[in-house]
Structure 1
Amino acid sequence: MEYLNTYLDNIKTKNLAQANSIKNTAETIGKEYLSKFDFCSHKMGLLFGNVQSGKTGQVFGVVCKAVELGFQFFILLTTDNVALQKQTYERTERDLEQQNGFVVCSEEDEQKFRSHGVKPVIIVLKKNSKILKEWTNKLKNIDDLKGNPLFIIDDEADAASLNTKVNKNEISTINKYLREIKDLSTSSIYLQMTGTPQSLLLQSEISGWKPMFTYYFKPGKEYLGGDFFFKEKTPNFVRFIDDERDGESIAYKVIIRHLVVSAQLFLSGAKVSNCLVHPSSRQDIHQQVRREFEKALSKVTFNHNEKDFVEDLKKEYDSISPNKSQKADFVDIKEKVFEMLENHNYKIVVLNSSSSDEPEECKKGCNFVIGGNSLGRGVTFDKLNTFYYTRSSKTPQADTMWQQSRIFGYDRDAGLVSLFIPENLYNLFVQINDTNDAIIKQVEEGRQPSISYAGNLRPTRMTVLDKSLLNILVGGSNYFPANPINNTYDQIT
């Protein structure tokens, strides 16, 4: 059976360019790495693309190609999030079982895994210590796995999989179980996936988690990523808020902008419009910001007929230039905003570990989403065009900042986006984007990436890097190689 072509045929009807991209990724990895696999060793690889640029579709293509090249047993690992695991399972079941003849198992489907027959089988598991321990024991007692290769796909492989106790000469729990699962088979391919590969590329070879091959896939044309948002010449949609001291005043400006954008989207047929507010990892700050938005929304709702409010709406209206729909008349925008305010057709949603709000509440209507760590990996928001980001740290980490911004994606409208942010934070993102571009260029050229950041910006959390083997170069110092490659003045110049 031609698993890859069957999978691609279903995608071509929706997005031909995406199908071609997936085919190129699957065929290249298949030819360069999978077809050369010796079926008696354990190989670690890395598939990375931009954040929220369609990694799942790409890796499904690789899985289909792997089946054609002799692999039958697959494990797909997700981050430790119940909703995300369920979402990933349902998508895997739809794309690979219903449309392509796979047997897809969730965490409770041991019997289904055992009775898969001759069909390729894939288990979708959370990276949760209890779940991994249970499946480690289950897989030990499944005879079919013995003597056969195992193909493991680790989504967000830099998030929880690495050994966080490497500098204590110990092994962290998740990493321990992943090692055991990998070693259950006589051979395996472990494919890491992420949009922020810094911690993976900085692993030592002796750790066993450094990728032996790396493949980068480019995003599609509709994707808005780092090169769009973070430039040395600041784009017009970026609004620095350094001079603002009143949180309620900033909230008012964010609200006006988002109401206009939402009205434009709803008038063009959209069902949802999201604004993301990321002030801090602290939950007390989330509640403080919520109160600021509640007060500002109450005043806007009460005073929406006043002249000043209408003038503020007109100013924002003049600044938008939608690319994906025809710009509505201001009269229609104003009427839609008034309707939303008078009927209270908007929500403030707080997403953190103690909140009762759920991401599902952001699937329709006009929403102001406030949160911190819960806004990170795997969480997606449709029609997200308004961003208010102020989270700061004494020792910021490039990969964490990039993942938690949630700013990138395909359904953003370049003529509607806006970013409210302090200037120093924006400059940090510019630096991260420049380094990301450098990493991509080095990978595409087949070179071992070198990663460098200025100031106190770290590439990743230091707990997963072996400090005894890490070579750190500090800015402001002179370094002289013991064996320079260039030894003449002409070569140097």
Structure 2
Amino acid sequence: MSNNSETLEMMEITIQTNDSSKLWFPVIGEETQALLNHLGLPDEESRTRIQNEAIEVIQRCVPPGSLRGSKTGLVIGYVQSGKTMSFTTVAALACDNGYRMVIVIGGTKTNLLKQSNDRLKKDLRLDTRSDRKWKYVENPRGDKRQNIQSTLDAWHDPSVPEDERQIALLTVMKQSDHLQHLNNLLGNMNLEGVPVLIIDDEADQAGLNNKVNQGAMSTIYRHLIELRQLLPHHSFLQYTATPQAPLLINIVDVLSPDFAEALTPGADYSGGKEFFLDNPILIKTIPGSEIPTQDNQVIDPPETFLFAMMLFYLGVAAGYIKDKGRGNRSMMVHPSQKIAPHGEYFHWVRQMNNQWKKILGQDANDPARIDLLASFNKAYRDLVRTVGDLPLFDQLVDVLPRAINQTNIQQVNTAGGKTPTIDWKNEYAHILVGGQAMDRGFTVEGLTVTYMPRGAGVGNADTLQQRARFFGYKRSYLGYCRVFLEQDVKDAFINYVEHEENIRQQLKIYRGKPLFEWKRAFFLDNALKPTRGDVLDLPLMTGGFSDDWYVPNYPHDSDEDAINKNREVVNTFWSQLTALNEKIFGKISVNKHLFASDIPLTYTFEQLIVKFRTTHPSDSQRFTGLMLQVQHYLEQNPNELCDIYLMDKGKLRLRTISKNIGRLNLFQGRSHSTDPDKYPGDRQIVVKDKLTIQIHKLNLQVEAEERDIHNVSVIAIWVPQKMEHDWVSQNQGSVM
């Protein structure tokens, strides 16, 4: 590295920071700079973004100069957004900063591992570079022990020049046998003082403990735990686009992340927002009559399927005219997880392919040809709404026979044994029919048309999102894209967009903070579950307040410190309000309350709601969900007002927590008097269209514990319908 010292010193200065959560300050050396130069990024902004985000990740890993230690980090991208580029850059930074081994745990299938390995070798230039900076081993076994050990020993050999020391780069399939071979290899090596970076690609898949509720360890999870135990100095980075499972596993789990980083996609990325919110014209609904089920046998190719194929072939024809067939154009048909239906759709594609080629070869006056072109023209009119420079229809018709004839039609599943690998270079156009093999991690080059005649399954949000292979860097040809979905799946994707952004926004707020401090709560439509239940040993609560009260049930479960703190918060807040009036319901003094009207909700949220402590899991989960709703509404309506009531002018009311019920019955009921001004009950002390807070001060008698708790401040909150929102909440307790 003879020419590197000056560069390293300069780059070190540029990334200094006062953020104490960053454990060390990496340098950007020759390896990282060469990688970024090789990637061919479109502009300096892209280069800076990828570089800086990789630095943010590695700064939270165990410093390479430490003797021991471990960290777990979660790195979140969008589906098809460039996560591989991120972890390759992190690996290059590890190389520049003294890490001696990088382990990449790839896909669960051979084709996905190959896809990942090919990309890694290409980006790091392993087959073309003149030096031997990386000692690359795929799915290592025991026969590689001496080779890898000598690579690590060279770091202590003064006769080996610094710039000739190698980094061991091991890639392994996330599969039991391969992980066991890796562990056997490492178990026979001296790894003391060896800083290691582990990258778990698609980390929410397969590696988490799906036997946690049985009090056991699933096989791959056990191998990952053993791997980490073999490495005295390592950082474990979990890369995924669907972080729900890693975020919701128990925070005492070894794979629960200590920190999280959310990656930013490039300007050309098109994800859920672009498809489902900004350009809903790109989304087409498959009617229920065309969705194959046990009760609805679809015998002939559905109309929407034929329409989707026509849209695709017109796009292929346009590609031949405008781009001379450079790049790729693809259609993905995703009918089911099961293999049998794939054959049916594959047969239909081949059938229509042959039929359309034959008809287009007929005389111009042939009735069948005229009818077919009329159908294609209908698809053309749909495309022309979103493609500004679409060639004329007659021009596309001239090229349609070529577009149809030269399209590769292929099943992508294990029907023939191994899942086939797609040769993207041999053909410009592809129609791929498959299921699970085209879900998570599978990259479809130039994907324009997606046809997915299947339901949402069991409704796991992360599983659903991983089917969105139609997301990606598509802005330049977004107008050619169409996605055909069943209505419920379409609605689920629309709901997922907000859920995804809500999680990312919350994690950005917690950047630099210990992740265990983050309250596990986020927006999610109640029709969906965040993830599979077999990896979660802590229950989830779903909810959403709408024209309803939040009322705590267990304030007596709070410790003395929380009770004192809440009393102080309430008293301070109330004393600072100036618009105090007296409102009387009925004639007796117990029915008189003080109230403050039209108080800024932002102020109330920050000074009362956020500061108020709830400790019982049930109360806490509901209260956290309520705070999410209020915060979200305030983001759109920052000038919203609310009303505050000090019940019974702040006099201490007596409430008994009975043995049988065990929870608080907070509200005083309505008066049974015949007086026309009779008291309507606490529940009615509310302004229906505004958030309303009642402050209650109580003396509690807890029968089961035979104790009294004095001067307990409790708040009840009315949430109007306009603030309605579904959420999921989980109580993680404390690691302290």
| TM-score, normalization by structure 1 | 0.90
Q: How does 1:303-314 map to 2 (within 5 A)?
A: 303-304=359-360, 305=362, 306-314=369-377
Partner of 2:672: none
Q: Is the CA contact 1:390–1:425 (under 8 Å) kept in the aligned structure 2? A: no
* Letter matched to residue 398 of structure 1: A
1:127 aligned residue: 174
Q: Secondary structure at the match of 2:231?
A: coil
2:244 partner letter: Q
Residue type of the partner of 2:489? L
Residue in structure 2 matched with residue 338 of structure 1 by the alignment: 401
The residue that corresponds to 2:112 in the other structure is: 84
Looking at structure 2, the residues matched to 134 and 33 of structure 1 have their Cα atoms a distance apart, in angstroms, of 26
Q: CA deviation at 1:311?
A: 2.1
Which of 303, 306, 310 is matched with 1:252 structurally? 306
Which residue in 1 is equivalent to 2:148? 113
8 Å CA contact 1:396, 1:456 repeated in 2: yes
1:404, 1:87 → 2: CA distance?
17
8 Å CA contact 1:254, 1:388 repeated in 2:
yes
Equivalent residues in 2 for 1:348-387 (5 A)? 348-355=409-416, 358-361=420-423, 363=425, 364-387=427-450
How far apart, CA to CA, are the structure 2 residues paired with 1:197 and 1:326?
Answer: 39
Match of 1:102 in 2: 134
Once the two structures are TM-superposed, the CA of residue 450 in structure 1 deviates from its matched residue by 2.1
2:230 corresponds in structure 1 to 184
Alignment match of 2:48 (pick from 13, 20, 24): 20
1:333 CA displacement? 0.9
What displacement does 1:36 show?
9.4
Q: Which residue of 2 aligns with 1:435?
A: 499
Give the CA deviation at 1:218.
0.7
The question of whether the paired residues in 1 share the 8 Å contact of 2:140 and 2:170 is answered with no
Matches of 2:52 and 2:249, distance apart in 1: 28
Match of 2:283 in 1: 238
Q: CA deviation at 1:71?
A: 1.8
Instruction: Establish whether residue 41 from structure 1 lines up as the match of residue 73 from structure 2.
Output: no
Q: 2:533 aligns with which of 422, 438, 462?
A: 462
- Cα 1:12/1:20, change in 2 over 3 Å: farther
Structure-2-length-normalised TM-score: 0.62
For 1:323 and 1:253, the matched residues in 2 are separated by 16
Higher deviation after alignment, 74-83 or 295-304: 295-304
Go from structure 1 to structure 2 and tell me whether the alpha carbon gap of 1:12 and 1:260 turns closer, same or farther (over 3 Å shift): closer
Change in Cα spacing, 1:192 to 1:33, as seen in structure 2 (3 Å) is: same
Separation in 2, partners of 1:5, 1:339: 44
SS of the equivalent of 2:280 reads coil
Q: Is the 8 A contact 1:274 1:362 kept in 2?
A: no
Q: Which runs of 5+ in 2 are unaligned?
A: 2-28, 155-164, 291-297, 363-368, 512-517, 575-595, 606-641, 643-736
Change (3 A) 1:49 1:393: closer
Q: Could you tell which deviates more after superposition, 431-440 or 345-354?
A: 345-354
Offset, 1:381: 1.0
**Number of residue-to-residue matches in the alignment:** 487
**2:353, 2:305 → 1: CA distance?**
9
- In the other structure, the counterpart of 2:103 is 75
Task: Determine the C-alpha separation between the residues in 2 that align with 1:443 and 1:38.
Answer: 27
Paired amino acid for 1:113: I
- Residues 62 and 234 in structure 2, CA contact (< 8 A), matched pair in contact too: no
SS at match of 2:541: coil
Instruction: Give, as a single letter, the amino acid of the residue that structure 1 aligns with 2:90.
Output: V
Instruction: Work out the CA distance in 2 between the residues paired with 1:69 and 1:339.
Output: 53
Deviation at 1:289, TM superposition (A): 2.1
2-side partners of 1:330 and 1:72: how far apart?
A: 59
Residue identity opposite 2:136 in structure 1: V
* Contact 1:7-1:64 at 8 Å conserved across structures: yes
1:7/1:322 Cα in 2 relative to 1: closer, same or farther (>3 Å)? farther
Is 2:79 aligned against 1:66?
A: no
Q: Find the residue that maps to 2:205 and give its secondary structure.
A: coil
Equivalent position amino acid for 2:137 in 1: C
- CA drift at 1:361: 4.7
Is this contact kept in 2: 1:244–1:250, CA < 8 A? no
The residue number in structure 2 matching 1:52 is 80
Question: Paired residue for 2:215?
Answer: 169
Paired residue secondary structure (2:390): coil
Structure 1 position 176, deviation (Å): 0.6
Deviates more, 1:103-112 or 1:317-326: 317-326
| Aligned CA distance change for structure 1 residues 478 and 388 (closer, same or farther; 3 Å) | farther
Residue in structure 2 matching 1:263, options 317, 339, 342: 317
How many Å apart are 1:296 and its aligned residue?
A: 3.1
Superposed CA offset, 1:103-128 (max 9, x none)? 22212472542332332211011011
Partners of 1:142 and 1:374 in 2: how far apart?
36
Matched letter for residue 384 of structure 1: L
Larger RCO: Structure 1 or Structure 2 (Cα < 8 Å, ≥ 6 residues apart)?
Answer: 1
Deviation at 1:291, TM superposition (A): 2.9
Change (3 A) 1:463 1:37: farther
Q: What is the SS of the residue equivalent to 1:196? A: coil
How far did 1:387 drift?
A: 1.0
Shift of 1:162: 0.5
Q: Distance in 2 between matches of 1:277 and 1:478?
A: 47
**Normalized per residue, which structure has more strand?**
2
1:416 corresponds to which of 480, 488, 500? 480
Deviation of 1:55 (Å): 0.8
Q: Render the CA deviation track for 1:317-367: whole Å, top value 9, x for unaligned.
A: 2333599995323222111103344xx323332112224672315552432
Residue pair 1:349, 1:361 contacting (<8 A) in 2 also: no
Deviation at 1:165?
A: 0.4
The residue aligned with 2:32 is 4
* Alpha-carbon shift at residue 66 of structure 1 (Å): 2.6
Q: 1:392 to 1:324 in 2, by over 3 A?
A: closer
2:183 counterpart residue number: 136
The corresponding residue for 1:451 is 522
CA contact under 8 A between 1:255 and 1:297: conserved in structure 2?
no
CA distance in 2, matches of 1:391, 1:217: 30
CA distance in 2, matches of 1:324, 1:269: 18
Q: 1:464 to 1:431 in 2, by over 3 A?
A: same
**1:310 Cα deviation from its structure 2 partner:** 1.5
Aligned to 1:473: 542
Matches of 1:276 and 1:62, distance apart in 2: 32
Q: Which amino acid aligns with 1:206?
A: V
Instruction: Give the match for residue 214 of structure 1.
Output: 260
Asked if 1:287 corresponds to 2:358, the answer is no
Q: Distance in 2 between the 1:444 and 1:331 partners?
A: 51
Instruction: Please give the secondary structure, in 2, of the residue aligned with 1:450.
Output: strand
| One-letter identity of the residue aligned with 1:242 | P
Structure 1 residues 339 and 446 mapped into 2: Cα distance closer, same or farther (>3 Å)?
same
Partner of 2:707: none
Change (3 A) 1:94 1:157: same
How far did 1:204 drift? Answer: 1.2
Q: 1:60 aligns to what SS in structure 2?
A: helix
